[in-house]
Chain A
Amino acid sequence: MYKAILLLIASLSLVNFGVNALAQSAQLSPQALVQDAIEKQRAGDLEGAVTEYREFLKLHPEATAIHSNLGAALAGLGRFEEAVGEYKIALRQSPRLPGARLNLALAYYKMGRISDAATQLEKVHAEDPANHQAVLLLGDSYLRMGENKDVIRVLAPEEKKYPDDVAIAYMLGTAYIRNKQPELGQVLVDRILRNGDSAEAHLMLGTAKMGIQDYAGARDEFQKAVALNPNLPEVHGLYAQALHLTGDSDQSNKEFKAELANDPYNFAANLQLGANAREDENYDAAEQYFTRALATRPGDPGARYQLALIAIEKGKLDAARETLESLVKASPQFAEAHVSLSLVYYRLKRPADGKRERDIVQKLTADAQAKQPGVKQQ
């Protein structure tokens, strides 16, 4: 089921070479060079292929498909930043070049820039709605970004077309549960359960239990999911969250680290481990975690706030102020950011601004207190 997505990620860069396009674009004199590069790429000599593609592009920088091929070779070497550059050149020259946008999306995905991947996948999906692989990846990207409504928008129609696709059932069911539509999620959980005891089923059940704050129950479900398939995306991260909420911080941290071993750009793992590192005053490590979290969810207020806190600790008050001002502008109810912004203003010797923020904190505190449900009246 979910393996399908992983296989897709592993294989897409190889299936979109665009050799035919290459033959049309390349000039005769360097054709041998290009053919040799292609053969090297097919044979796994990616370094050799990169060298020859670059030689060729010096002579013919307008060769759109060669930029795309070079991107694929670079991606195969794990040099995603360079690959992205080549794909972008190819797409600038030929926006509808077959496979290039999907490959660009894959490169972003592997870099942990899930939001950028989703942007590209949306375009692929718009151009080619029948591309099932692109839809799967798009749903997965939105799930990682926490954009549950988008997961539902993209995958609900797909689920009707592929009712037996367990990967879709899993992602869509998880999104329903997270979107507080448990009855729809339950239908998909049942479908997965009919296939027997599976990691995906326990993961979804755990997610559902988290939603109703049954953290101990969720922890037990996630534990089973980990035992059945430790490579299932997010399984360690979710187990870690449940462990954290049931008070087992040590084991929680281990599971978050296990999640990052599977997926270095897992948002929740990076956020929590970053917060731990910041609390331990290990600011450089914390910055790395939060930067990776932001790669997955650009602009995430929580991760940006954590980076602002590190800036305060490092004495970079102006940098912290800029981030905090932006955060409270975007999220006026973000009380913690107002607290920190007030503190920064006072330290920057701007007491009037500090007092203004402090007054906001007090108002937010009073508003929050007023909203407390109080206690049950017998």
Chain B
Amino acid sequence: MKINRREWIRLASLTGAALAAPRAFAQKPEPLFVEIPPSVSGITWVHENAMSPTRYLPETLGPGCAFLDFDNDGWMDIFLVNSGPSDFWKPSQPVRNALYKNNRDGTFTDVTAKAGVGGEYFGMGVAVGDYDNDGWPDLFVTAYGKCILYRNNHDGTFTDVTEKAGLATPGWTTSAVWFDYDGDGKLDLFICSFVDYSGVKKLECGSNQIGKNYYCVPRLFKPTASFLYHNNGDGTFTDVTKGTAIASALGKGLGVVATDINNDGRMDLFVANDTVQNFLFVNRGPGANGQWKWDEIALQAGVGFSEAGRPRSGMGVDAADLKGNGWQDLFVANVDHEFYSVYENNKDETFRDVAQGNGVARATRLMSGWGLKYFDYDNDGEIDLFLANGHPDDMIDSYSMQVKYREPLLLFHQGADHKLHDVSENAGPAFQRDYAARGLAVGDFDNDGALDVLVGNNGAAPLLLKNNAAKGNNWLGLKLEGVTSNRDAIGARISWEAGGKVRRMLKTSGGSYLSSHDPRVVLGIADATIVDAVEIHWPAPSKQVDRLTKVGPNRYIHVVEGKGIVASNDSHTQKSAGQANS
């Protein structure tokens, strides 16, 4: 289905108006996010969760989703992960992932078959990264069964290079993250491993309170070690897990984010585990024996357990400089009655959970959280928070008075008090409905500078939400391209000055749950009319700092390490406006 841009805008606004009508009578504000239904977007793919009477656990954990520009046309495309054949399920009809090409008019076209990314196994999540630094995003799809690395062929097709790359990872993998842990300019890969689910054909957990099989609590299953692969730079990877703290930390990983919690310039890893403690792997650099050294410090850092010393059911995760103080804060979404955690960085490799003071604890008391993202949804320059929720047990409504299987989305806005405030009630009709949400990706699919949201729903169609909340605020979009540093510039530090305020951010990688975000960076500048300065500290091995001055807002600029702005998507680009490299 293709329609022109004008028609799409008309339909989108009609949809929003129709959905918002009951609220209009109540004089509610305009929705912050508006659903773009499949009939408009053309995204008709539906997740098959393979739900069986036996209730095999993988059925309830997917799916992940991603925004990526696979064809490098400057418009975000969409990838959706599906289940598939496994040792407990043989689909009666073909089941496949979906790759949707952005038609640049708000509609998408399914190009999965041509791209060759339909998958063969019981898919879970996706991590997008340019591991071969060729300028084209590649896909790593995790699964129960076997992961797949799809290398981008630059022509709209992909090739499964998993075996050749040495990434044939066993077991049940969930979230994965591309990042450059050793600063050699090449993206390495960390893969979360969930539980030991071997011998699955024989598994069931007995009946629940209403006499039916239910999804086993992961506590029952043995924990496993996650995987760290080093990028050899020749299209292959080496498993470097052995002998590190990553190998000895047996967990049940579901979410991972790569960030730098101690500002030492090395990317660390925060892993959310289900029913066992979370892990915070701090990157200590090369050890004396030549092996990379990682310290697992979650307990002493105060992010491993609840304040009452209990492991929680960590699922979604993220990191961002919430208060703009130059230090990365963390977030973990847990299961109902465990509260989600807002971990504020104490700047000494410890954290304090401030979920209660932010109102996040109270709002999430009955929720189970998966996909999530810290981002500035209204471009006012402050980091906000978007949460996708849903209980893993599809029968929970039958024996819980308050907890529901399908749960609403939650949106928090950071106020002038630097606290997160729940604004879900006024965020739009999409926030009044309930979902079995899992993955969540953030990306600007219509290139208007307002970051949109894609939610992967278990056993249902994905939800595409167009962001209307940033209207009136100005912004600057950056597509960063590393040269000596990794091409995706993961680990870059960006500061920008506008309207008399200096703000900063770290380009993290991963986060959310099973999902991958738009790789571009949007800098919110509120009502400032020009960005006075942008400074980009490129990650190792580069020591390059690029400084751009007097940059016009409301456009995406393509910045190359050491070269400054090389392109802009806007005719108002001021290419000569005070670029300076240092």
A157 in contact (CB, < 8 A): no
User: A215-B209, A305-B309, A377-B202 given. 17 additional CB < 8 A pairs?
Assistant: A214-B209, A246-B399, A246-B400, A247-B366, A247-B399, A247-B402, A279-B356, A338-B309, A339-B304, A343-B302, A358-B300, A372-B219, A372-B221, A375-B204, A376-B206, A378-B202, A378-B204
B399 near A249: Cβ-Cβ < 8 Å: no
- Cβ of B222: which chain A residues have Cβ within 8 Å of it? 369
Q: Which of B309-345 contact A (CB under 8 A)?
A: 309-311, 336-337, 339
B220 near A374: Cβ-Cβ < 8 Å: yes
- Cβ of B469: which chain A residues have Cβ within 8 Å of it? none
A132 and B221 CA atoms in complex are apart in Å by: 53
Query: With A249-B365, A249-B402, A376-B205 as given contacts, are A309 and B308 in contact (CB-CB < 8 Å)?
Result: yes
- Cβ of B276: which chain A residues have Cβ within 8 Å of it? 365, 369
B299 near A361: Cβ-Cβ < 8 Å: yes
A82 and B97 CA atoms in complex are apart in Å by: 76
- Shortest C-beta distance, B206 to chain A (Å), equals 6
Write 18 A-B pairs (CB below 8 A) sorted by A numbering.
A215-B399, A216-B209, A216-B399, A246-B401, A247-B402, A249-B337, A275-B308, A279-B361, A281-B356, A336-B305, A338-B309, A339-B310, A346-B299, A347-B350, A354-B300, A365-B277, A373-B220, A376-B205
A304 and B190 CA atoms in complex are apart in Å by: 41
B528 in contact (CB, < 8 A): no
A335 near B309: Cβ-Cβ < 8 Å: yes
A289 and B250 CA atoms in complex are apart in Å by: 38
Q: Which residue of chain B is the closest to A370 with respect to CB atoms? A: B222
- Shortest C-beta distance, A340 to chain B (Å), equals 5
Query: With A216-B399, A246-B399 as given contacts, are A336 and B219 in contact (CB-CB < 8 Å)?
Result: no
B216 in contact (CB, < 8 A): yes
Residues of B within 8 A of A (CB): 202-206, 209, 216, 219-223, 250, 276-277, 299-300, 302, 304-305, 307-311, 336-337, 339, 350, 356-357, 361, 365-366, 399-403
- Shortest C-beta distance, A80 to chain B (Å), equals 33
Q: Which residue of chain A is the closest to B396 with respect to CB atoms? A: A247
- Cβ of B300: which chain A residues have Cβ within 8 Å of it? 342-343, 346, 351, 354, 358
Q: Most chain-A CB neighbours within 10 Å: which of B205, B223, B250, B402?
A: B402
A342 and B357 CA atoms in complex are apart in Å by: 25
A103 and B260 CA atoms in complex are apart in Å by: 65
A248 in contact (CB, < 8 A): yes
A336 and B337 CA atoms in complex are apart in Å by: 17
A306 and B163 CA atoms in complex are apart in Å by: 52
- Cβ of B403: which chain A residues have Cβ within 8 Å of it? 247
- Shortest C-beta distance, B363 to chain A (Å), equals 13
- Cβ of A367: which chain B residues have Cβ within 8 Å of it? none
A358 near B299: Cβ-Cβ < 8 Å: yes
- Cβ of B304: which chain A residues have Cβ within 8 Å of it? 339
A235 in contact (CB, < 8 A): no
- Shortest C-beta distance, B296 to chain A (Å), equals 10
Q: Which residue of chain B is the closest to A351 with respect to CB atoms? A: B300
B399 near A340: Cβ-Cβ < 8 Å: no
A281 and B302 CA atoms in complex are apart in Å by: 17
A347 and B300 CA atoms in complex are apart in Å by: 8
A208 in contact (CB, < 8 A): no
A243 in contact (CB, < 8 A): yes
- Shortest C-beta distance, A219 to chain B (Å), equals 9
Q: Which of A281, A339, A375 lies in contact with B357, CB distance below 8 A?
A: A281
- Cβ of A335: which chain B residues have Cβ within 8 Å of it? 309
- Shortest C-beta distance, B78 to chain A (Å), equals 36
A280 in contact (CB, < 8 A): yes
- Cβ of A377: which chain B residues have Cβ within 8 Å of it? 202
A340 near B309: Cβ-Cβ < 8 Å: yes
A151 in contact (CB, < 8 A): no
A91 and B323 CA atoms in complex are apart in Å by: 64
A241 and B555 CA atoms in complex are apart in Å by: 57
Q: Most chain-B CB neighbours within 10 Å: which of A280, A337, A346, A347?
A: A346
Q: Most chain-B CB neighbours within 10 Å: which of A216, A251, A343?
A: A343
- Shortest C-beta distance, A153 to chain B (Å), equals 34
- Cβ of B307: which chain A residues have Cβ within 8 Å of it? 309, 312-313
Q: Is the interface of B mostly helix, strand, loop or mixed?
A: loop
Contact pattern, A 299-317, Cβ under 8 Å of B = 1, otherwise 0: 0000001100100110000
Q: Most chain-A CB neighbours within 10 Å: which of B209, B299, B366?
A: B299
Q: Which residue of chain A is the closest to B277 with respect to CB atoms? A: A365
A351 and B206 CA atoms in complex are apart in Å by: 44
Contact pattern, A 178-221, Cβ under 8 Å of B = 1, otherwise 0: 00000000000000000000000000000000000011100000
A279 and B353 CA atoms in complex are apart in Å by: 11
Q: Which of A310-344 contact B (CB under 8 A)?
A: 312-313, 335-340, 342-343
- Shortest C-beta distance, B196 to chain A (Å), equals 11
A275 and B308 CA atoms in complex are apart in Å by: 9
- Shortest C-beta distance, B119 to chain A (Å), equals 27
A213 and B356 CA atoms in complex are apart in Å by: 31
B401 near A243: Cβ-Cβ < 8 Å: yes
A261 and B200 CA atoms in complex are apart in Å by: 52
- Cβ of A275: which chain B residues have Cβ within 8 Å of it? 308
A279 and B356 CA atoms in complex are apart in Å by: 8
A14 and B9 CA atoms in complex are apart in Å by: 85
- Shortest C-beta distance, A212 to chain B (Å), equals 11
- Cβ of B357: which chain A residues have Cβ within 8 Å of it? 281
- Shortest C-beta distance, A177 to chain B (Å), equals 20
B402 near A343: Cβ-Cβ < 8 Å: no
- Shortest C-beta distance, A226 to chain B (Å), equals 16
A96 and B358 CA atoms in complex are apart in Å by: 60
- Cβ of A281: which chain B residues have Cβ within 8 Å of it? 356-357
Q: Which residue of chain A is the closest to B307 with respect to CB atoms? A: A309
B299 near A375: Cβ-Cβ < 8 Å: no
A249 and B302 CA atoms in complex are apart in Å by: 27
Q: Which residue of chain B is the closest to A213 with respect to CB atoms? A: B209
- Shortest C-beta distance, B205 to chain A (Å), equals 6
A343 near B299: Cβ-Cβ < 8 Å: yes
Q: Which of A248, A279, A361 lies in contact with B402, CB distance below 8 A?
A: A248
Query: With A249-B337, A343-B302, A377-B202 as given contacts, are A280 and B356 in contact (CB-CB < 8 Å)?
Result: yes
- Shortest C-beta distance, A204 to chain B (Å), equals 21
- Shortest C-beta distance, B33 to chain A (Å), equals 29
A229 and B51 CA atoms in complex are apart in Å by: 46
A347 and B350 CA atoms in complex are apart in Å by: 9
A243 and B216 CA atoms in complex are apart in Å by: 23
- Cβ of A243: which chain B residues have Cβ within 8 Å of it? 401
- Shortest C-beta distance, B348 to chain A (Å), equals 10
Q: Which residue of chain B is the closest to A281 with respect to CB atoms? A: B356
- Cβ of B206: which chain A residues have Cβ within 8 Å of it? 376
A248 near B401: Cβ-Cβ < 8 Å: yes
- Cβ of B203: which chain A residues have Cβ within 8 Å of it? 375-376
- Cβ of B400: which chain A residues have Cβ within 8 Å of it? 246-247
- Cβ of A305: which chain B residues have Cβ within 8 Å of it? 309
- Cβ of B209: which chain A residues have Cβ within 8 Å of it? 214-216
A279 and B204 CA atoms in complex are apart in Å by: 35
Q: Which residue of chain B is the closest to A377 with respect to CB atoms? A: B202
- Cβ of B309: which chain A residues have Cβ within 8 Å of it? 305, 309, 335-340
Query: With A249-B365, A279-B339, A369-B223 as given contacts, are A339 and B402 in contact (CB-CB < 8 Å)?
Result: no
- Shortest C-beta distance, B310 to chain A (Å), equals 6
A336 and B203 CA atoms in complex are apart in Å by: 30
B223 near A342: Cβ-Cβ < 8 Å: no
- Cβ of B277: which chain A residues have Cβ within 8 Å of it? 365
- Shortest C-beta distance, A213 to chain B (Å), equals 8
